Amino acid sequence: MSTMIRGVAASPPRRSAIGRREIASGLIWLLLLLVPLWLPAIGGYTDLATRILIYGMAATGLNLLLGQTGGLSFGHAAYFGLGTYGTGLFLIHVVPSLPLAIIAGTLLGGIAAVLVGPMVMKRRGIYFSMITIAFGQMFYFVAVRWNGLTGGEDGLTGFSRVPLHIGSRSVALGSTGYYYLVFGLFALVMLVVWQILRSPLGHGFVAARENATRLRFLGVAVERQIWASFAISGFIVGLAGSLDSLLVNFTSPANFQWQLSGEFVVMCVLGGMRSFWGPFLGAVIFIGAQDYLSSVTQNWMSLIGLIFVLSVLFFPNGLLGFIRGRARA
């Protein structure tokens, strides 16, 4: 993992150095592609890398709204949670098909975001955040109370990663196989986000963040821009949730809770909200630290809190922002 960070460090922001930046990106992709080869050698395990990809995907999805559009959502766990339950319930009650279950979870999370969007898009700042939390908690209580369907506080079990059917062949997905499935979807999400950021839609997100008044006086319905951002991030976070439920064959109301929403935000801030790779890098640090620290101490959360406070104090633009600032100076 440290190699990965150094790879990113080599990417300065200036146009003249675009070559180095692409090399850094290429290096990240290569490292991710070869994870099952090198991760065990440094004491990791493949499921950890899968988890990092999943949370990195969720953080990148949230960051479309948070870092690019400037909407601080403390409720995105709702769409993650819906992704997990959508996939689990689909496998249990509808068809034991992996691709359809993933699509079902993604749609459930995404469509919920599409519906919630209009109710939050008119608010700014703290009010926006409060409403997103409120909706997140609403889904949480539904998951807790609707015992018959969701398993209540105990969570949802009884589903598992069924084999993937390719043509007439049936492929069971072990740790490595599932890693590559997640990797493929992660790559797809990164491609989509990259494309959005270089499109008029993404330019509009950033413009809404920078100066909504200006944008409005260009005749743009800023709310629709925020809604679009909210919805797209909801689909991506929903997909991440779906993949998470298939990683552990389990989900619980904790996946709806605002703590998880907060963790997504922390990942974005840690890595750098203004950078393409920032949220993913934040997930690497967060999940990596969580995995390591929780094996050392029960109080790992306070250590993560400490890391967060220090990083906000010393790297207010996230780790990638800091590295870029150094490269520019």
Which chain residues interact with another protein by CB under 8 A? 15, 195-196, 199-204, 206-207, 210-211, 213-221, 224-225, 228
Q: Tell the smallest beta-carbon distance from residue 273 to another protein (Å).
A: 12
Q: Which residue has the tokens 């509009």?
A: 204
Cβ proximity to another protein: between 199 and 297 the closer is: 199
Find out whether 246 and 102 touch, Cβ atoms under 8 Å.
Answer: yes
Cβ proximity to another protein: between 221 and 309 the closer is: 221
Q: Tell the smallest beta-carbon distance from residue 115 to another protein (Å).
A: 18
Find out whether 85 and 91 touch, Cβ atoms under 8 Å.
Answer: no
Q: Tell the smallest beta-carbon distance from residue 309 to another protein (Å).
A: 25
For residue 16, with 0-12 CB atoms within 10 Å meaning exposed, 13-18 middle and 19 or more buried, which class applies? exposed
Q: Hey, what are 5's tokens?
A: 């960070």
Q: Tell the smallest beta-carbon distance from residue 15 to another protein (Å).
A: 7
Residue type at position 131: I
Cβ proximity to another protein: between 101 and 273 the closer is: 273
Cβ proximity to another protein: between 207 and 281 the closer is: 207
Q: Tell the smallest beta-carbon distance from residue 275 to another protein (Å).
A: 13
Q: Tell the smallest beta-carbon distance from residue 35 to another protein (Å).
A: 30
Q: Tell the smallest beta-carbon distance from residue 218 to another protein (Å).
A: 5
Q: Hey, what are 6's tokens?
A: 């150094």
Alpha helices by DSSP H, the chain = 2-9, 18-33, 35-38, 46-63, 77-93, 98-120, 125-145, 147-150, 175-197, 200-210, 212-216, 222-248, 258-271, 278-296, 300-314, 318-328
* CA-wise closest residue to 281 among 311, 250, 251, 241: 311
Calpha distance 79→135 (Å, rounded)? 10
Cβ proximity to another protein: between 93 and 328 the closer is: 328
- Residue 95 C-beta-side C-alpha neighbours within 13 Å: 10
Cβ proximity to another protein: between 229 and 245 the closer is: 229
Cβ proximity to another protein: between 7 and 67 the closer is: 67
